[in-house]
A = this chain, B = another copy of it.
């Protein structure tokens, strides 16, 4: 059978092979990229799904508008208003089947084969593959603990004239980094100056541990003239409520939103109306603030436990910035004391010791830093985190 040429641009994920090993009994996994299912508000979701079937059973189970279920669009607009995004009409967003579909629709709508797209190095693995399937040539912009280096970003924009720039500005995956406020303004100014579309992917921004992070690019765009017309914002309930609902959203300028809606019509017609009506009822019931408080507190404790354990057990063999939110510690092997410097080799030895993580290599679209590791603290309790880090120290 002859497959489409576009499949030659991607390969089966290297970390898939690693994930097959996770079934080993007793393994402690820092490898996931998902929230802890023990924290799901099952009763809240149960009540919301029941209410959806009671209030509007026809609508909840019938075909729906490709743009999304209107009561959910209204609830999402209100949710965003609570995060400093003013003047957002429900019609300025569409509901997507998880924010992964928002990425897919951006690829389908914007990328012709050979187009350049700038992403952070490192960035979300499924973004790399998703855009490559549409023929994108990815360009890697360097980041540090304050997010993307905006001077380097501007040079890359000028050099490559990308179709768009894709960033995870807040608690990035895998970097955990948060773009500093002044850099956020700079990114918006760059968008306007070079008339380039910027995509803000924000699945983690609600998961902060202490102070709230700086306002989103979307919230800030109100203060940078002309930037809103060039900004796309992707959000999701996956990390804060439930990935299994597959409810995400995309906020974009009208013309782009219309094209993305047309593409969505031929991708999956619309997102599950049952899931959408459930999410709408959940938000309407006002349960989200308490849910956020609970998950933030748990993840904050686990992030602290992991940071403390890494500092104690691995010492100067690793460098990392203590995360202020999100799900991940992004660490770098320093080689101090003659210890390992290759995350891929360490991953294999770690599994032998009963602990798993994802090496950083595949998160780079170019020039990978093989000394990096992504460690998720989200799904393991603090005692197990300490035990897992102790095993990691033995592997090292």
Contact = CB atoms under 8 A, between A and B. Distances in A.
Contact of A1 (B2, B6, B103, B256): B256
Interface of A: 1-7, 10, 12, 34-35, 37-38, 40, 42, 45-46, 49-50, 53, 57-64, 97-98, 100-101, 103-104, 108-112, 115, 126, 129-130, 133-134, 163, 197, 238, 242-246, 253, 255-256, 259, 262-263, 265-275, 277-278
B4 A101 contact: no
B268 A108 contact: no
Nearest to A379: B62
How many copies of this chain?
2
A80 B45 CA distance: 32
A45 B62 CA distance: 13
Nearest to A270: B246
Most buried by B among A3, A12, A134, A256: A3
B101 A268 contact: yes
Contacts of A103: 266
21 contacts: A4-B115, A34-B62, A34-B63, A35-B62, A37-B57, A42-B61, A60-B244, A63-B238, A97-B271, A100-B269, A101-B268, A104-B267, A126-B265, A129-B266, A133-B266, A243-B273, A244-B273, A244-B277, A246-B271, A268-B268, A272-B272
